[in-house]
């Protein structure tokens, strides 16, 4: 920030002066800022009821003001006129706060690592945060790269190189261990698969043998019963035909009796 803008900034709130008031020591501050300072030192009212002591935030000198308080201090009309004219003009080279209208970014917040305006520190989200002035913060940040380069000596470089090699060796060792475990797992499941395949063949062979025994046991019986059923059909047909023959031709030994005998024998 240029020196001209510094002259328009309150040293208490770091914002553009609002209602600037001049102390007897010639230092100027915002009216609200002085009200806050006076309120913080309000215990002096008991001892000096006719005059109110106030310590200048800049030069630290003790100043006595009228009982009416900060309102009795004269207004810095010249400074206020300059501020009004300054705020009416465009200043493209000055970076202002996006949250507070026309307030310059002139303070560095150490907590959030960013530039803020005076209103951000007093009424905004950076209230109570540790701060640093813009020039000091700039010098510190400017010197940081050089300090980092000073730390990157040959010793640090060698240590980093050794650390990289060590990490690469550990990575290679870990990958080999994983690969070995994968081979063990694959071999185990291959053997398990072979064992299961052998078990499957044994069980299937046993089941096939049982199926052959079942076929050997039941097939002859089924065929025998089928033959009996066929003989029954023939018997029914023969019986029907005998009932239609005349008495003279009726045989003395009916074939129906022969079929019955055969059935009894087969049974």
From first to last of its 267 residues, the chain has per-residue pLDDT tens of 445 666 788 888 888 888 999 998 989 999 988 988 888 776 444 545 567 788 888 898 888 888 888 888 999 998 888 888 877 776 555 667 777 766 777 677 877 777 777 778 777 777 778 776 666 766 666 666 666 666 666 667 788 888 999 999 999 999 999 999 999 999 999 999 999 999 999 999 999 999 999 999 999 999 999 998 888 888 888 777 766 656 555 554 444 455 455 555 555
The Cα–Cα gap between 166 and 162 comes to 6
For the chain, the domains span: 154-266
Q: Where are the beta strands (DSSP E) in the chain?
A: 20-22, 28-30, 52-55, 62-65, 107-109, 114-116, 131-133
Q: Give residue 194's pLDDT.
A: 92
Grouping H, G, I as helix, E, B as strand and the rest as coil, residue 132 is strand
**From residue 255, how far is each of 3, 64, 242 by CA, in Å?**
145, 156, 9
Q: Give residue 95's pLDDT.
A: 67
Q: Give residue 42's pLDDT.
A: 61
Q: Give which of 255, 261, 223 is closest to 236, Cα–Cα.
A: 255
Q: Give which of 120, 108, 67, 86 is closest to 17, Cα–Cα.
A: 86
The residue behind tokens 């004269």 is 74
């Amino acid at each position: 920030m240029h020196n001209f803008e510094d002259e328009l900034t309150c040293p208490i709130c770091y914002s553009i002066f609002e209602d600037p008031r001049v102390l007897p020591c010639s230092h100027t501050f915002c009216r609200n800022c002085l009200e806050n300072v006076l309120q913080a030192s309000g215990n002096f009212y008991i001892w000096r009821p006719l005059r109110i002591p106030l310590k200048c935030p800049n030069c630290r000198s003790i100043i006595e003001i009228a009982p009416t308080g900060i309102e009795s201090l004269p207004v810095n009309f010249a400074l206020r006129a300059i501020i009004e004219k300054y705020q009416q003009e465009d200043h493209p080279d000055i970076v202002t706060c996006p949250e507070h209208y026309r307030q310059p970014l002139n303070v560095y917040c150490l907590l959030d690592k960013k530039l803020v305006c005076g209103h951000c520190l007093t009424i905004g989200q950076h209230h109570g945060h540790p701060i640093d002035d813009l020039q000091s913060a700039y010098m510190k940040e400017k010197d940081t790269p050089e300090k980092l380069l000073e730390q990157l000596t040959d010793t640090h470089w060698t240590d980093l190189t050794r650390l990289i090699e060590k990490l690469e060796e550990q990575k290679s060792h870990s990958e080999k261990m994983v690969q070995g475990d994968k081979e063990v797992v694959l071999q185990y499941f291959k053997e398990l698969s072979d064992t299961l395949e052998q078990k499957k063949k044994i069980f299937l062979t046993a089941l096939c043998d049982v199926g052959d025994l079942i076929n050997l046991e039941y097939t002859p019986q089924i065929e025998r019963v089928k033959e009996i059923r066929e003989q029954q059909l023939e018997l029914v047909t023969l019986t029907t035909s005998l009932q239609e023959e005349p008495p003279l031709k009726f045989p003395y030994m009916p074939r129906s009796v022969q079929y019955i005998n055969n059935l009894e024998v087969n049974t």
